[in-house]
Amino acid sequence: MTSSPDAPTVLSAHGLFSGYERDLPIVRGVDLAVRQGEFLLLLGPNGAGKSTLVKTIAGLVPVHSGTIDLQGADLTSTHAHERLRRGLAFVPQTENVFTTLSIHENLLVAAQILPRAERSRRIGALYQMFPDLERLKALRAGQLSGGQRQMLAVARALIVEPAVLILDEPSAGLAPKVVSEVFARLREINATGVTTVLVEQNVKAALAIADRAIVLVEGQVRLEGVARELAQGPELGALFLGAQGRRREARA
Amino acid sequence: MIDILSYGFFFLTVALTYGIICLGLNVQWGQTGLFNVGIAGFVAIGAYVSALLTTPASTSHIGGLGLPIAAGWIGAALATALATFLIGALTIRLRSDYLAIATFGAAVAIQLCVLNLQPVTGGPFGIGFIPRPFAGLARQPFLFGAVNLAIIAAVVVVLYLGLERLASSPWGRALKAIREDEAAATALGKSAVRFRLQAFALGGAIMGLAGAAQAHFIGFIAPDNYQPTLTFQVWAMLIVGGSGNNRGAILGSVVVWGIWALSAVAISAVVPADAQARAASLQIVMIGVALCAILLWRPRGLIGEARVASRHILRPSVARRSSNSSSEH
Amino acid sequence: MTPQVLVDGVIAGSMIGLGAIGITLTYSILRFANFAHGEFISWGAYFALAIAAALGSLAGGNVPSLGPFSFGWTLPVALVLAVGLTAGLALVVDALLFGPLRQRGSAVIILVMASFGASLALRNMIEFVFTSSPRYFSTDLQIAQPLGGGMRATPDQLLTVGVAIVLVVGLHLLLTRTAIGRSMRAVSENRQLASLAGIDARKVIRTVWMLGAGLACVAGVMSGLVVQVRPEMGLDLLLPLFAAAILGGIGSVPGAMLAGLIVGLAESSAVALFGAEWRSAVAFVILVAILLLRPSGLFGRHE
């Protein structure tokens, strides 16, 4: 456990409404506080708005109302590229590496916002963390396997030593064995002090590595708690089933 | 008074020939979302084909079959439909702007053929003595003008009614579905391509018919009539009127042609003779700027599409997102 | 067909190549076919013409020719200034027209249509300001020097080929070896991911406009130097430029240059075989052939 309940808040959202279209909010009034150093898990049934919430925080989805704060600074109206400079790194679910660039170039692109002297030091540090990537560094990223791509995407995000790392379903499309490797890696990264927010469908495995979890249903926070307790308690299952049950009714 | 009325007839006749081109473009763009930058070329095909079919035999070029005018117009529509079909077949599966590039190229090539195939087209001198409808009345300008206007108005009305019917037919609804909803287009697969191709060729046929009509009202055609400026004018007409709307297409052509004619009159009245060519270029600058301004500030045009306004213009992101892709490919 | 066809083709092709690079860059970053690109060629040539004339009259009228070339020091200076002005023009057009449309998320085809309107306005603005009569950078007549093998070229023509080669190599290095080059490739592949990687897409877009318009200006001055300066010069080059950009594969700078040479050689061969009046048809034939056989071009990636 890398964070304590009284650790300061590093990232927060207040009364957040967002969505692609003005008249159709997908995130509907979310309050969220991510504590320094914690591993926070975002859960919820399909279509609950998890992805939209993290994309909003990353600056990819327009905010209708509410605010987003990072380390005391208001991010709400900044561009996505500006948010990375402020210390917020986001790894999207798909198309998260530049397939036509080499692995090394992928890292160079990300390192560009660092001071010149820092760049090779950070890339070197990440190669140490991901030796596979260094071995393949001249290869075009499009030629990597699914798991390697996820690692490159994570490495790309870590280059700038972000305060918060947000990942949108990194396990999607990966073989179970690879998923557990990726999760172990994320746990390690969190242990080095990087606050981590993870969106996952893979509830059981993800609860095992997270400190705390938040459950989103229909764009609103329905449940919040310590990951270990949620994994054992009945509420989580009820929420998922409930949402599915409702949807089934609506369809019928 | 008679003079003014005669001029009014003439003005409306010309404006309505543009209206026909505009109706053709509306089938391609307004209803199907296909961007044609080669309008001038397709209109030229119609004009030349009809001229070759109907003019009396001539020593300056081959052709001159002396057929009835109606045969010329039908031939023009068929020939232009074929040309647009071929260009469409080449590009309709590719990125949307490849069609624009290909039609632009086709117009350049057609213009070049018209200019250089002297034995067929008369080259830079063009083709004269194109029979005019009711030529027997030519000595009575008022009546002649009225009859000409009546013919062209009849053509416009028939086309308008036919196209409106077509738009609400199953074929028209399928087109609309393909245009509005990427998923529907994908679900239809091969037949979506076929629908678009049919619409493109139909639009081409109408443009060819318009080219023929113009040729027969003026009585003389030359390559210079089919410059890219013609393409621009027609686009401005459709955009002003509102794409997707047949009434808008007709209204837009009358309004834009009116502005064009008035500004030409103003230039010749105000600007000294030696500077008129320069002033005329300013007139075209104005059309270009107007086209951009409408795209920026009033993308629906003056009338716009009646029901679900052109969603593909105003909210393209909807279609993009529903295809479930997070990037901008 | 004589060996001279080769020389004429390379000279025409190097200008087409430079123009096509601009098209391919803006296409790969902004994702639309810019029909106004030809007008940057024309405006570039007219900017240089006006500046060179102004410098010439400031210098007292009679500027001696540089070495074997037909022009004096005023033209190189004018070229540099004109490149800046043309780049500025492109930025202004983007700020007024394409930028707002992009912001609104307009469909590709709306951008194409807007570029169409912009080209009409820009071209006729030239006619209004400079009239439609052809102009020349120099009235000196140059004599073509023998190059061996029955080929001849004027010093001006050889210079244009040399400048094109230097610019293409430089641009290729810029794209592959520098930070801004990597940013451009990143934005071209995936703009959203690029913004997540901290790249300011607006800066990349500005760079692309400046590069594309700058190269167009050079192509325009070169074309004006070896042929003439006319308001339609850009419009007439547009089809060969599109043909070369698609043949080379959208986004590929070496591809655009090589394809430009191919189009240039095809044009000069056609002129030799069928006569000069059919020159403009060549680009269309090539365009149709690529779209039929390999729409992704020689070096393009499949989309």
pLDDT tens per residue, range A109-146: 999 999 988 999 999 999 999 999 999 999 999 999 98
**Which residue of chain B comes nearest to A55, CA vs CA?**
B326
> Which of B100, B105, B295 faces C101 most closely, judged by CB atoms?
B295
| Strand-pair category, A212-217 with A195-199 | unpaired
Q: Ranked by mean pLDDT, which of B112-121, C81-90, C147-156, C175-184 comes out on top?
A: C81-90
Specify the number of domains making up chain A: 1
State whether residue A114 sits within 8 Å of chain C by CB.
Answer: no
Task: Determine, for residues B326 and A95 on separate chains, whether the beta-carbon distance falls below 8 Å.
Answer: yes
pLDDT exceeds 50 at position A1: no
Q: Between A20, A94, A95, which is nearest B317 by CB? A: A20
Q: Using an 8 Å CB-CB cutoff, list chain A residues near B326.
A: 92-95
Note the pLDDT of residue B177.
Answer: 80
Q: Where are the domains of chain B?
A: 2-322
pLDDT of residue B111: 92
Q: Residue C185 is inside which H or E element, if any?
A: helix C179-189
Q: How many CB pairs under 8 A join A and C?
A: 66
By Cβ distance, the residue of A60, A79, A109 closest to C197 is A109
Q: How far does B291 lie from chain A, in Å, by closest CA? A: 28
Reply yes or no on whether the pLDDT at B312 is more than 80: no
Q: Which range in B29-33, C58-62, C208-212 is most confidently predicted, on average pLDDT?
A: C208-212
Q: What are phi and psi of A10, to 5 degrees?
A: -105, -35
Q: Which of B318, B321, B326 sits opposite A92 (nearest CB)?
A: B326
Q: How close A142 comes to chain C (CA, Å)?
A: 12
- Whole-number percent of chain B with pLDDT over 70: 86
Q: B182: pLDDT confidence band, cut at 50, 70 and 90? A: low
ipTM metric:
0.89
pLDDT at res. B259: 87
- Across the beta sheet with A212-217, the strand order is A88-91, A164-168, A195-199, A39-43, A212-217, A220-226
Where does the pLDDT of residue B125 fall: very low under 50, low under 70, confident under 90, or very high at 90 and above?
confident
Q: What is the DSSP string of C105-153?
A: T--HHHHHHHHHHHHHHHHHHHHHHH-SS-B-S--PPPPPEEEETTEEE
Interface check for A49 against chain C (CB to CB < 8 A): the answer is no
Q: pLDDT of B274-311, one tens digit each?
A: 778 788 888 888 888 888 888 888 777 666 554 433 34
Domain contains A123: no
User: How confident is the model at residue B60, as a pLDDT?
Assistant: 67
- Would you tell me which residues 104-143 of chain C have a C-beta closer than 8 angstroms to some C-beta of chain B? 105-110, 112-114, 116-122, 124-125, 127-128, 131-132
**B299 vs C contacts (CB less than 8 Å):** 106, 110
Task: Indicate whether B319 pLDDT > 60.
Answer: no
> What is the pLDDT averaged over residues C201-217?
96
Q: What is the CATH number of the domain that holds A60?
A: 3.40.50.300
- Other CB atoms closer than 10 Å to residue C155's CB: what's the count? 17
pLDDT of residue C158: 93
A47 — pLDDT class (breaks 50, 70, 90): confident
Residue C118 neighbours by CB distance under 10 Å: 24
Interface of C with B in 38-77 (CB under 8 A): none
Q: What is the pLDDT of residues C196-206, one digit of tens each?
A: 999 999 999 99
**In the prediction, which pLDDT does C121 show?**
93
On whether the CB atoms of residues A59 and A79 are closer than 8 A, the answer is yes
| Mean predicted lDDT score pLDDT of chain A | 89
Cβ within 8 Å, pair C113-B96 = no
Beta-carbon contacts of A234 under 8 Å, excluding residues fewer than 6 positions away, are none
Percent of chain C with pLDDT over 70: 98
Residues B3-37 pLDDT 10s? 788 888 888 999 999 999 999 999 998 888 888 99
- Segment of B173-187, C40-54, C102-116 carrying the highest mean pLDDT: C40-54
Is A60 among the domain residues? yes
Q: How confident is the model at residue B316 (pLDDT cuts 50, 70, 90)?
A: very low
Question: Do B105 and C284 count as a contact with CB atoms less than 8 A apart?
Answer: yes
Q: Is C241 on the interface with B (CB under 8 A)?
A: no
What are the DSSP calls for B54-94, one per residue? HSPP-SSSS------HHHHHHHHHHHHHHHHHHHHHHHTTS
Q: What is the pLDDT, as a whole number, of residue A3?
A: 55
Q: Which residue has the higher pLDDT, C148 or C45?
A: C45
In a domain, A25, yes or no: yes
pLDDT digits (tens, 9 = 90+) for B204-257: 999 999 999 999 988 889 999 898 889 988 988 888 887 778 888 999 999 989
Which are the contacts of A91, defined by CB distance < 8 A and separation ≥ 6?
A: A150, A153, A154, A156, A157, A165, A166, A167, A168, A170
pLDDT at B318 over 50: no
Tokens of C257: 């240059």
Chains that touch B (3 or more CB pairs under 8 A): A, C
CB-CB under 8 Å, B326 with A94: yes
Nearest to B328 by CA among A20, C49, C28: C28
How high is the pLDDT of residue B192?
81
Determine whether the interchain pair A79/C195 forms a contact, defined as Cβ–Cβ distance below 8 Å.
yes
pTM: 0.87
DSSP B265: H
Comparison of pLDDT for A237 and A195, the residue scoring more: A195
DSSP, collapsed to helix, strand or coil, labels residue A196 as: strand
Give all chains having 3 or more CB-to-CB distances under 8 Å with chain A.
B, C
Distance CA C29, CA A228 (A): 47
For residues B53-68, average pLDDT: 77
Tell me which DSSP letter residue B27 carries: I
Percent of chain B with pLDDT over 90: 33
The identity of residue C253, as a single letter, is V
Please count the other Cβ atoms lying within 10 Å of the Cβ belonging to residue A192: 11
Q: C2 φ, ψ to 5°? A: -115, 165
pLDDT value at C23 more than 50: yes
Segment C108-158, tens digit of pLDDT: 888 988 998 999 999 999 999 998 889 998 877 788 888 888 888 899 999
Strands A220-226 and A164-168, by their bridges, are unpaired
C291 neighbourhood in chain B, CB within 8 Å: 90-91, 94, 98, 102
The DSSP code sequence of B297-316 is H-TT-SS--SSS--HHHH-H
The answer, for A192 touching chain C at a CB cutoff of 8 Å, is no
- How confident is the model over C61-80, as a mean pLDDT? 88
- Mode of pairing for the β-strands spanning A63-70 and A9-18: antiparallel
Nearest chain A Cα to C177, which residue? A105
Please report the pLDDT score of residue B195 as a whole number: 87
C302 contacts in A (CB within 8 Å)? Answer: none
Measured between CA atoms, the residue of chain B closest to residue A61 is B326
Q: Is the pLDDT of residue A239 over 80?
A: no
Residue A204, classified by CB atoms within 10 Å of its CB into exposed (0-12), middle (13-18) or buried (19+), is exposed
Q: Which of residues 70-89 of A touch C (CB under 8 A)?
A: 79-81, 84-85, 89
Chain B interface mutation, best of C23, C111, C122, C124, highest count of B Cβ atoms under 10 Å: C124
Percentage above 70 pLDDT, chain A: 93
Q: Which residue segment(s) compose the domain that A66 sits in?
A: 9-94+163-251
Nearest CA-CA distance, residue C223 and chain A, Å? 35
Task: Work out the average pLDDT over B253-268.
Answer: 87
User: Least CA distance to C130: which residue of chain B?
Assistant: B278
Q: What is the pLDDT of residues A51-96, one digit of tens each?
A: 999 999 999 999 999 999 999 899 999 999 999 999 999 999 989 9
pLDDT above 60 for B166: yes
Say which residues have a Cβ less than 8 Å from residue A219's Cβ, sequence separation at least 6.
A25, A26, A27, A28, A29, A30, A48, A49, A52
Query: Cα separation of B232 and B237, whole Å?
Result: 9
Residue numbers of B between 151 and 210 with CB closer than 8 Å to C: none
CATH class of C4-134+155-293: mainly alpha
pLDDT, position B325: 35
> Shortest Cα distance from A94 to chain B (angstroms)?
8
